[in-house]
Amino acid sequence: MNAPIWVLGAGAIGLFVGGRLAAAGADVHFIGRARLRDEIAQAGGLLLTDLEGPEHRLAALQWHEAAPPGVPGLVLLCVKSGATASALADLALPSGTPVLSLQNGVDNARLAQQAAPQARVLAGMVPFNVAHVGPGHWHRGSSGQLAAQEDAALQPWLALFERAALPLQLHRDMSAVQWAKLLLNLNNPVNALSGLPLRAQLLDADWRACTAALMAEALQVLRAAGIRPARLTPLPPGWLPALMRLPTPLFERLAARMLRIDAQARSSMADDLAAGRPTEIDALCGAVLRLAQAQGLQAPRQRLMVELLSAPRPQPLNAQALRQRLRA
Ligand SMILES: NC(=O)C1=CN([C@@H]2O[C@H](COP(=O)(O)OP(=O)(O)OC[C@H]3O[C@@H](n4cnc5c(N)ncnc54)[C@H](OP(=O)(O)O)[C@@H]3O)[C@@H](O)[C@H]2O)C=CC1
Ligand SMILES: CC(C)(CO)C(=O)C(=O)O
């Protein structure tokens, strides 16, 4: 068996990925909140279900509210972006410990490396959605393969991820992959404000027009900065705004893969908004806004989304009102 894996941030992604690795035989330690530990215990264990795979039940988890005793062989960084620095600063990791960030946004690996300079922090990317759908129950509601920085430190772990049916697709240029994922994540604030499940929101032309406008603005900024996002979808990233603006019947046909989403799936930002937690808007639209500013450009649409989602109590909006405000 490999050395222990520590999941830092036992929430949707941490429980799903860590739970699947534990089911495949890994020695997984979850670092998370007592409320989720208690919820899982009261439900009789962790239940993981999957749109396209078998379900897994784990009767007991190795759960900690702070760093476990011992030394990890791998850390999976699964807290929301705003918690990256503080979560890592609380662990005294031995020199060279690989830390794989499974977070959205383009800056978390850098922030993590700053907080734990002795660790070997690697960027990763999760393309699929995991939602908390019932007591002790998390569900993967869309598909796609995990991505990670190509690095010798991950070699000993590749077979385990394969066994867990979560193979790591290795990339030399994770920055291009992360920017491409960020473009897709520009739908997160739109989804959160809509109050709708992801699939229903994506099947509404007005909400899609909002996301298209954010994507078009971000693509202009990336172009100006010389960043070429990787291709994560059947169509190249540059075509995403046009795809989103298609009439719904045509969109349904051309975006069939993007729409392979369970009716219950919702974006991680919608979860945060519903729970009254801070959102990751600064790591998504905020990152595009900062890149624009560095190029001497404006990004008024990203700025608007940052303002709307940073309000003390962001209110759901109707699609046409948001469209108007975004000039979409
Ligand atoms: N959910 C999804 O479908 C997807 C999520 N992602 C990305 O994955 C990352 C994680 O998202 P997700 O799993 O949804 O987030 P969750 O909020 O479900 O999980 C994170 C958990 O970590 C806990 N936490 C925060 N700080 C600490 C700490 N110092 N020690 C222990 N626990 C801590 C949080 O508790 P508390 O809330 O109390 O702070 C929360 O329970 C994000 O960057 C997200 O964008 C990427 C793709 C899909
Ligand atoms: C998978 C996706 C794009 C949408 O659910 C996501 O990254 C998120 O919810 O944050």
Centre of ligand 1 to C-alpha 68, Å, is 18
Task: Give CA–CA dist 300/294, Å, rounded.
Answer: 14
Centre of ligand 2 to C-alpha 93, Å, is 29
Tally the residues of the chain.
328
Contacts of residue 310, defined as CB under 8 A and 6 or more positions apart, other chains included, come to 279, 281, 282
Q: In 3D, which of 176, 198, 181, 190 has the Cα closest to residue 302?
A: 190
- As beta bridge partners, residue 49 has 139
Centre of ligand 2 to C-alpha 269, Å, is 8
Task: Give CA–CA dist 99/88, Å, rounded.
Answer: 10
Looking at residue 102, what is its pLDDT?
Answer: 98
pLDDT averages per 10-residue partition of the chain, 328 residues? 92 98 98 98 98 93 96 98 94 96 98 97 97 96 95 98 98 98 98 95 98 98 98 94 97 90 92 94 98 98 97 88 96
| DSSP letter, residue 118 | T
Sign of CA dihedral 105, 131, 269, 213: positive
Helix or strand run (H / E) with residue 56: strand 56-58
Cβ–ligand 2 distance for 128 under 6 Å, the answer yes
Task: Give CA–CA dist 5/272, Å, rounded.
Answer: 26
Looking at residue 1, what is its pLDDT?
Answer: 61
Cβ–ligand 2 distance for 12 under 6 Å, the answer no
Atom of ligand 1 nearest to the CA of 78: 10
Looking at residue 259, what is its pLDDT?
Answer: 87
Task: Give CA–CA dist 176/229, Å, rounded.
Answer: 4
Centre of ligand 2 to C-alpha 38, Å, is 26
Centre of ligand 1 to C-alpha 138, Å, is 13
Q: In 3D, which of 127, 120, 118 has the Cα closest to residue 147?
A: 127
Centre of ligand 2 to C-alpha 128, Å, is 6
CB-based contact 81:280 (threshold 8 Å): yes
Q: In 3D, which of 67, 187, 166, 171 has the Cα closest to residue 116?
A: 67
**Look-up: residue for tokens 């603006």?**
245
In the chain, the domains with their CATH numbers are 5-171 (3.40.50.720), 177-326 (1.10.1040.10)
Among 16, 17, 33, residue to substitute to test ligand 1 (most atoms within 8 Å of Cβ): 33
CB-based contact 97:27 (threshold 8 Å): no
Cβ–ligand 2 distance for 268 under 6 Å, the answer yes
Atom of ligand 1 nearest to the CA of 83: 26
What token pair was written down for 233?
């979808």
CB-based contact 205:255 (threshold 8 Å): no
What is the ipTM for the molecules in this complex? 0.99
Q: Transcribe 72-94 into DSSP letters.
A: -SEEEE-S-GGGHHHHHHTS-PP
Cβ–ligand 1 distance for 130 under 6 Å, the answer yes
Among 16, 78, 188, 258, residue to substitute to test ligand 2 (most atoms within 8 Å of Cβ): 188
Cβ–ligand 2 distance for 267 under 6 Å, the answer yes
Centre of ligand 2 to C-alpha 94, Å, is 32
CB-based contact 27:4 (threshold 8 Å): yes
Contacts of residue 153, defined as CB under 8 A and 6 or more positions apart, other chains included, come to 96, 98, 120, 122
Q: In 3D, which of 179, 173, 203, 208 has the Cα closest to residue 265?
A: 203
